[in-house]
Structure 1
Amino acid sequence: MDSLVKVAAVIQARLSSTRLPAKVMKDLNGKTLIERVVNQVRLSKVVDEVWIATSTEPEDDLLELMGNKLGVKVFRGSLGDVLKRYYDTMQISNADIIVRVTADNPFTEPLFIDCGVEYLKLNDLDYVCFDQIPYGSGVEIIRNAALGKAYLSSFEEYDREHVTPYIRNNKDTFKLGKIIPDKLELRRPDVSVTIDTMDDYVKLYKLIKCLEDREHQLSLTNVIEICNKK
């Protein structure tokens, strides 16, 4: 880790998801979804702090309790203005770089976090994302100044809810980068490893159980291998 640059991974989470309510607290072979996501992020070699950023709604008290149990920091803020939630978390954490993680992705890839942060630093970028990867495995890397500028300059509800559209849509203002994995086997946008519906939940529960029954790591390579066989 670079002691001069603080990296905070911020996992946005809420219990009021509409298609699959309280999905972040659902069990996935012995661990909740949010615990799975936190564990994946903790495998990163560059992250200094892990945060759960949730809302002040009463149902999200459970997420605060879970964050405390898992030993991660918790920030509670606006339900709808997720960009403000990220900005406030960044301010409190005093982070130089924010890794945006969403809580419905139990296969968030720690190697993507590491190479994304390094790519942003080496190329002096404001923002980095990934392309041609399994859906739900990637993250977004954002420099604090860019997040601050987006917070102060974006006023559309869509931009506030989805955090990064203002940055991505203003290429003249921000220096953007996109990473496509060198390994061809990881270029699988046809594979989905996110949980949005009950069908997704059942599929990934079975997938995680299969991997752990075989004592395999929850890595993208292993996931793709199983998907290929099926």
Structure 2
Amino acid sequence: MKFVALIPARFGATRFPAKLMADLYGKPLIARTYLSTVATGIFDDVVVVTDHEEIAEVIRKEGGKIFISQKEHESGSDRIAEAAAHMEADVIVNVQGDEPFQDKKSLQDLVNSFGDSRVQVASLMMTIFDDSQIQNPNAVKVVVDKDNFSMYFSRSPIPFIRESPSEITFYRHIGIYAYKKDLLMAFTQWPKSILEKAEMLEQLRLLEQGIKIKMIHTDHQAVAIDTAEDLEKAKEYFRANFSDQL
């Protein structure tokens, strides 16, 4: 199978304008994400999909490949689908452009899941140990069946604990997806579903179409940058883990 990583990289951002161009110890954030994805050695190809020439030029300087979006897109999934339509690939992995420290084991486990013929789309989850995360609507929860296929995603605490059984484990969804290419192309053509609109979670569109998502457990705590404060945390992580590159 041919595995291609596509990194959607929109220039605009409401909470942190032009964040993908923010400096992270000598390189723009998007360059760090691109280079860490390539460094995993997992993918047959890695392409940054962007709407802006500044981002494209950053990736060209790193010797990377870019695809310039020709359309306006509502989501990263829509953006990568435009690029995927022009590519030969069996599986497309959507790598978030604002997560500069990609984890090789998590991504390897993700692509390995497609050895199971039942898997059409896969994503990541991690165990929640902090009770405040269970109640936090920004931390998306997922419940799975015995084979770790998704049953439901919600911003609410799921499952609801009526009598607090100790064996219940809560899982947080980590928003990286791998799709069989044909499913990605179909998914982005389906209209928004009722549950998707209610929770503002696009993966519910898949569930409402009867597509279960294979959930892969990870212990890697992704560093996602949505605000200037997040960038400072990323710098702390870089200092702690990549001091030889300072």
Range class of TM-score, shorter chain: 0.7 to 0.9
Who wins on radius of gyration, i.e. which is larger?
A: 2
SS in 2 for 1:128: strand
Which of 129, 140, 152 is the aligned partner of 2:189? 152
SS in 2 for 1:153: coil
Residue of structure 2 equivalent to 1:195: 225
What are the Cα deviations for residues 76-117 of structure 1, in whole angstroms up to 9, with x where unaligned?
Answer: 223333333222211212211000011110122122111111
SS in 2 for 1:140: strand
How far off its partner does 1:40 sit?
Answer: 1.4
Residue of structure 2 equivalent to 1:226: none
Which of 2, 10, 14 is the aligned partner of 2:10? 14
Q: Which has the larger share of helix?
A: 1
2:208 counterpart of 1:170: yes
Which of 79, 82, 91 is the aligned partner of 2:72? 79
How far off its partner does 1:71 sit?
Answer: 2.1
Q: Which has the larger share of strand?
A: 2
Is the contact between residue 11 and residue 101 of structure 1 (CA under 8 Å) also seen in structure 2? Answer: yes
Once residues 91 and 61 of structure 2 are traced to their aligned partners in structure 1, the CA distance between those partners, rounded to angstroms, is 25
Cα 1:38–1:179 change in 2 (3 A) is same
Partner amino acid for 1:166?
R
How far off its partner does 1:155 sit?
Answer: 4.6
What are the Cα deviations for residues 112-150 of structure 1, in whole angstroms up to 9, with x where unaligned?
Answer: 111111112334311111111698976211111111211
How does the TM-score come out when normalised to structure 1? 0.75
Partner amino acid for 1:143?
K
Residue of structure 2 equivalent to 1:128: 122
How far off its partner does 1:34 sit?
Answer: 0.8
2:235 counterpart of 1:205: yes
SS in 1 for 2:214: strand
- What is the alpha-carbon root mean square deviation over aligned residues? 2.8
Once residues 113 and 100 of structure 1 are traced to their aligned partners in structure 2, the CA distance between those partners, rounded to angstroms, is 11
What are the Cα deviations for residues 53-92 of structure 1, in whole angstroms up to 9, with x where unaligned?
Answer: 112xxxx110111121122221222333333322221121
- What is the aligned residue count? 197
Is the contact between residue 112 and residue 138 of structure 1 (CA under 8 Å) also seen in structure 2? Answer: no
Structure 1 ranges of 4+ moved more than 4 A: 133-138, 161-165
Q: How does 1:1-230 map to 2 (within 5 A)?
A: 5-55=1-51, 60-77=52-69, 78-82=71-75, 83-132=77-126, 139-155=176-192, 164-167=203-206, 169-170=207-208, 172=210, 174-181=211-218, 186=219, 193-213=223-243, 215=244
Percent pairwise identity: 23
Once residues 114 and 192 of structure 1 are traced to their aligned partners in structure 2, the CA distance between those partners, rounded to angstroms, is 15
Cα 1:164–1:137 change in 2 (3 A) is closer
Is the contact between residue 107 and residue 136 of structure 1 (CA under 8 Å) also seen in structure 2? Answer: no
How far off its partner does 1:52 sit?
Answer: 0.8
